[in-house]
Amino acid sequence: MSTAPPLCLTVAGSDSGGGAGIQADLKTMLALGVHGMSVVTAVTAQNSLGVRGVWELPADAVTAQYRAVVDDIGVQAVKTGMLSSAVLVETVAALLADTRAPAVVDPVGVSKHGDALLAASALEAVRKELLPRATVATPNLDEVAQLTGVVVETEDDMRRAADAILGHGPRWALIKGGHLAAHGHEAVDLLTDGTEERWLRARRHDNRHTHGTGCTLASAIAAGLARGLTVPEAVTAAKEYVTGAIAAGFALGGGIGPVDHAWQWR
Ligand SMILES: Nc1ncnc2c1ncn2[C@@H]1O[C@H](COP(=O)(O)OP(=O)(O)OP(=O)(O)O)[C@@H](O)[C@H]1O
Ligand SMILES: Cc1ncc(CO)c(N)n1
């Protein structure tokens, strides 16, 4: 018998195509040496071309899954992704409030294809209930605009975006600049707690197979936190992992293929 690896829980939607959501999270956790567990919030019928349908789970099904995990097994870090509605945002925020483990909150808004994964009516609950529970919040630039109204075009704007997100109460903000056209050859993210500021710069890979990048990055951060890394250490390691996974992303179906979660093993 061996000792259990660190324990990491994802609370997110299922992506039938296997590139994002729960599937990306569990693959990332396996690749980074932690035991991945899941609370499914919604089932999506999804492939490389888009989202064909979404079926949200009832709030008590989400609560029951979460409790089943924490009451018996325990968690050392939690990651949240697609939460779909205001009711589920409020439900998950209340569960996080009851959990001591650090939480990585990826405030998923829309898919790469532009399909809504969060109701517009849930934004206020994300601001008021969910962000204050986050150890790290990881919005992309579209989510920053939706949540704070800050439109990012330059690195200075990223600072303003981080301040606006921190204003909602997370301990750290990681502003993902993956969508920033200004940085032709670099993918630049900003991590800050309002005092310390770290810019994470990686080579931008000219690869259109980027389905699941945000889920992968957030799960990799949670895996690092479960292993006992500090937030800056976990984010640095996660950025390295997602950059490698994007470089190795592959074509699948007729649209946007997934990143390669197993790139380190090939
Ligand atoms: N082409 C690229 N090459 C290298 N890194 C990238 C590229 N695109 C995005 N990234 C990086 O990937 C990470 C995820 O950022 P991104 O902005 O793509 O998240 P996202 O939009 O939330 O993803 P998702 O589509 O899964 O919701 C960030 O660290 C970002 O800088
Ligand atoms: C289920 C799910 N969660 C998150 C994303 C974000 O890309 C997606 N496409 N699907």
What is d(CA 60, CA 239) in angstroms, rounded to the nearest whole number?
34
Mean pLDDT computed over 89-116: 96
Q: Quick one: pLDDT at residue 180? A: 81
Mean pLDDT computed over 192-205: 96
Please check the confidence at residue 183 and state whether its pLDDT lies above 80.
no
ipTM surpasses cut 0.95: yes
For ligand 2, whether the C-beta of 107 sits within 6 Å is no
Whose Cα sits closest to atom 4 in ligand 2?
A: 21
The residue whose two tokens read 């919005």 is 139
Inter-residue contact 234 to 77 (CB < 8 Å): no
Whose Cα sits closest to atom 6 in ligand 2?
A: 111
Note the pTM of the prediction, 2 decimals: 0.98
Please choose, from the candidates 137, 79, 132, the residue with its C-alpha nearest in 3D space to the C-alpha of residue 107: 137
For ligand 2, whether the C-beta of 21 sits within 6 Å is yes
What is d(CA 172, CA 47) in angstroms, rounded to the nearest whole number?
32
- Signed CA dihedral, 250, 35, 104, 15: sign only: positive
Inter-residue contact 107 to 126 (CB < 8 Å): yes
Mean pLDDT computed over 177-193: 86
For ligand 2, whether the C-beta of 108 sits within 6 Å is yes
What is d(CA 225, CA 248) in angstroms, rounded to the nearest whole number?
25
With vertex at residue 107, the alpha carbon angle to CA 29 and CA 165, rounded to the nearest 5 degrees, is 120
What is d(CA 127, CA 137) in angstroms, rounded to the nearest whole number?
11
Which ligand has an atom closest to residue 215 CA?
A: 1
Please check the confidence at residue 230 and state whether its pLDDT lies above 90.
yes
Half-sphere exposure of 180 (CA within 13 A, CB side): 26
What is d(CA 228, CA 71) in angstroms, rounded to the nearest whole number?
21
For ligand 2, whether the C-beta of 17 sits within 6 Å is no
Ligand 1 pocket by Cβ (under 6 Å): 20, 112, 140, 176-179, 187, 189, 202, 204-205, 210, 212-215, 217, 239, 242-243, 246
Length of the chain: 266
Q: Quick one: pLDDT at residue 182? A: 61
